[in-house]
């Protein structure tokens, strides 16, 4: 049963990052502009994150196995839509459908684990394996994507999903038990609409404000997102059977776990996105070579995730979360302090630090979230965990990716407008014979990477202090409520 759940999770997690190395190939084929490039990468995570609260509530009411299988079938269909895209907008539409399917799958995996593994120690190990697959999937996405793109073209990054979907759905029908709570009433439709609109508007606003767009419409969308999510929270507090019991956030460890997940994936999502571009454009690696150079992150994530249950038992939740988030700070600090032009030796150390930190933080956080809710509301724990996970990836690309893009453009002042738009656009210009532009673009990309790393250190360090303060001393995630 765990193998079936992890197989599905691997695909959903890989799809968050698999296109990072395919982006140059996509740019050559579909010619997306800079905004479309960002949407192709992060719309998947934003849609998925926006729907998770709703899909988790549906799974609690109508059956986790049923929603899991339906979502994975949709994921397979969406993969075909994306693989056959002839335009940027069709590809974005395919990624939207993938996000909807993924939103149906991801909270179901964690909630099924909560119900299948009733022993707290077994559950901690199962969550460690689950987190290892989720983290390694995000990290290995560039490697698999690189191999497929280089051999068969960018569409293969989506075609690879189809056979895995078929096998997993058949195995899931046979192996997985069904769990649902008959005590729930019908889902809160208005609350569902508020949660989706609020999360997507918030993410859109952050994305555009981070890009440097301070237009009235962008600021209004950001404010609307905050307002709608506030209304959602107030509505949930007034309902006897809410979509999401926001009172859970009164539990300091629960809030810390959600923050730790968000921050870990924000850091790793942004780093994998930017470093994949750096490996291909600045160092000239092929997509597969670029993916191969991200393997240290995947390996370190695997180690961190599998070590977490053992460390939590001996050191407690607070210490392991501090270690994990501290690893992220260390990774970005190494990147910030590395001499320019940055060499791969420094980046390999960065990948290991980020991978270990992410594995420790994500696994510990998931254990805390799952142990905080009764089995019949396991979908809510899955929703909070996966919303934090996917919003972290999406916001990492949007926020840190946009900061990097703005600094890059600043360093390219005086260069042709096309080259100043993005390093991919500069590469296109260089292929037309303007080699000097690419030299300037490489230097600008490297300098922007240093600035972004310093910003990342400040953000992650601040959240680390907050998380350590929130988790009570001696707290252990083995109560199994």
481 band by pLDDT with thresholds 50, 70 and 90: very low
78 band by pLDDT with thresholds 50, 70 and 90: very high
Alpha-carbon distance of 228 to 204, in angstroms, equals: 14
| Residue 182: per-residue pLDDT | 64
Query: 360 or 115: whose pLDDT is higher?
Result: 360
Query: 338 or 31: whose pLDDT is higher?
Result: 338
Angle between helices 34-62 and 401-411 (to 10 degrees): 180
Hunting for tokens 């899955």 — which residue is that?
Answer: 382
Q: Can you tell me the mean pLDDT for 266-285?
A: 85
CA dihedral 204, 209, 214, 217 (to 10 degrees): 10
| Residue 479: per-residue pLDDT | 47
The answer on pLDDT for 402 being more than 50 is yes
| Residue 16: per-residue pLDDT | 67
CA 13 distance to own-chain centroid: 7
20 band by pLDDT with thresholds 50, 70 and 90: low
| Residue 480: per-residue pLDDT | 43
Q: Can you tell me the mean pLDDT for 179-192?
A: 77
Q: Tell me the pTM.
A: 0.79
| Residue 336: per-residue pLDDT | 93
Q: Is the C-alpha dihedral spanning 62, 63, 66, 71 positive or negative? A: positive
| Residue 224: per-residue pLDDT | 93
The string over 349-361, giving b where at least 16 C-beta atoms fall within 10 Å of a residue's C-beta and e elsewhere, is bbbbbbbbbbbbb
Count CB atoms within 10 A of the CB of residue 473: 9
Q: Are 383 and 107 in contact (CB under 8 A)?
A: yes
The answer on pLDDT for 235 being more than 90 is yes
The answer on pLDDT for 121 being more than 60 is yes
Q: Is the C-alpha dihedral spanning 300, 304, 306, 311 positive or negative? A: positive
Q: Where are the domains of the chain?
A: 2-187+243-470, 188-242
Q: What are the tens digits of pLDDT across the range 446-464?
A: 899 999 999 999 999 999 9
| Residue 227: per-residue pLDDT | 96
What is 2-187+243-470's CATH number, 2.30.290.10, 1.20.1250.20, 1.10.287.130, 1.20.1640.10?
Answer: 1.20.1250.20
Share of the chain above pLDDT 90, in %: 25
| Residue 458: per-residue pLDDT | 94
| Residue 443: per-residue pLDDT | 87
| Residue 203: per-residue pLDDT | 74
| Residue 472: per-residue pLDDT | 85
State both tokens at 440: 């300037």
Phi, psi of 240 (to 5 degrees): -70, -25
Considering the chain, what is the average pLDDT of its residues? Answer: 84
| Residue 144: per-residue pLDDT | 78
| Residue 464: per-residue pLDDT | 94
CA distances in angstroms from 50 to 64, 78, 194, listed in the order given: 19, 18, 10
Q: Can you tell me the mean pLDDT for 95-122?
A: 84
CA distances in angstroms from 274 to 267, 320, 402, 438, 445, listed in the order given: 11, 27, 10, 17, 9
Q: Can you tell me the mean pLDDT for 380-390?
A: 78
Query: 427 or 435: whose pLDDT is higher?
Result: 427
Burial of residue 432 (number of CB atoms within 10 Å: 0-12, 13-18, 19+): exposed
Count CB atoms within 10 A of the CB of residue 298: 24
Alpha-carbon distance of 195 to 393, in angstroms, equals: 18
Q: Are 457 and 400 in contact (CB under 8 A)?
A: no
Q: Can you tell me the mean pLDDT for 183-202?
A: 83
The answer on pLDDT for 204 being more than 80 is no
The answer on pLDDT for 327 being more than 90 is yes
């Amino acid at each position: 049963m765990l193998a079936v759940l992890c197989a599905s999770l691997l695909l959903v997690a890989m799809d968050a990052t698999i296109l990072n190395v395919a982006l140059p190939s996509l740019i050559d084929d579909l010619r997306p502009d800079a905004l479309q490039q960002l949407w192709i990468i992060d719309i998947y995570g934003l849609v998925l994150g926006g729907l998770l609260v709703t899909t988790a509530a549906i799974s609690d009411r109508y059956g986790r196995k049923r929603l899991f299988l339906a979502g994975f079938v949709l994921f397979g269909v969406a993969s075909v839509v994306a693989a056959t895209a002839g335009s940027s907008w069709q590809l974005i539409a395919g990624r939207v459908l993938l996000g909807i399917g993924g939103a149906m799958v991801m909270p179901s995996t964690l909630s099924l684990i909560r119900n299948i593994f009733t022993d707290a120690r077994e559950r901690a190990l199962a969550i460690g394996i689950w987190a290892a697959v989720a983290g390694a999937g995000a990290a290995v996405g560039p490697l698999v994507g690189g191999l497929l793109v280089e051999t068969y073209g960018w569409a293969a990054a989506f075609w690879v999903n189809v056979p895995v979907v078929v096998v997993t759905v058949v195995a899931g029908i046979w192996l997985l038990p069904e769990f649902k709570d008959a005590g729930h009433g019908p889902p809160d439709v208005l609350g569902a609409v508020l949660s989706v609109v609020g999360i997507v508007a918030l993410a859109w606003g952050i994305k555009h404000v981070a890009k440097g767009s301070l237009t009235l419409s962008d600021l209004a969308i950001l404010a609307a997102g905050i307002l709608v999510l506030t209304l959602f929270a107030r509505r949930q507090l007034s309902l006897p059977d809410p979509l999401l019991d926001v009172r859970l956030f009164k539990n300091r460890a629960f809030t810390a776990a959600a923050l730790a997940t968000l921050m870990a994936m924000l850091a790793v999502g942004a780093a994998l996105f930017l470093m994949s571009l750096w490996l291909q454009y600045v160092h000239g690696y092929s997509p597969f070579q670029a993916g191969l150079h991200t393997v240290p992150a995947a390996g370190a994530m695997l180690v961190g995730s599998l070590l977490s249950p053992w460390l939590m038992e001996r050191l407690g939740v607070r210490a392991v979360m501090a270690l994990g988030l501290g690893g992220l700070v260390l990774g970005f600090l190494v990147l910030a302090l590395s001499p320019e032009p940055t060499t791969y030796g420094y980046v390999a150390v960065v990948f290991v630090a980020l991978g270990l930190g992410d594995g420790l933080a994500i696994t510990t956080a998931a254990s805390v979230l799952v142990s905080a809710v009764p089995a019949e509301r396991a979908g809510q724990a899955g929703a909070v965990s996966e919303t934090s996970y996917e919003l972290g990836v999406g916001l990492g690309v949007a926020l840190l990716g946009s900061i990097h893009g703005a600094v890059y453009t600043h360093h390219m002042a005086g260069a042709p407008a096309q080259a100043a738009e993005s390093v991919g656009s500069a590469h296109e210009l260089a292929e037309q014979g303007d080699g000097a532009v690419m030299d300037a673009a490489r230097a600008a990309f490297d300098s922007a990477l240093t600035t972004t790393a310093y910003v990342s250190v400040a953000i992650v360090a601040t959240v680390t202090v907050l998380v350590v303060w929130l988790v009570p001393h001696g707290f252990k995630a083995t109560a199994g409520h």
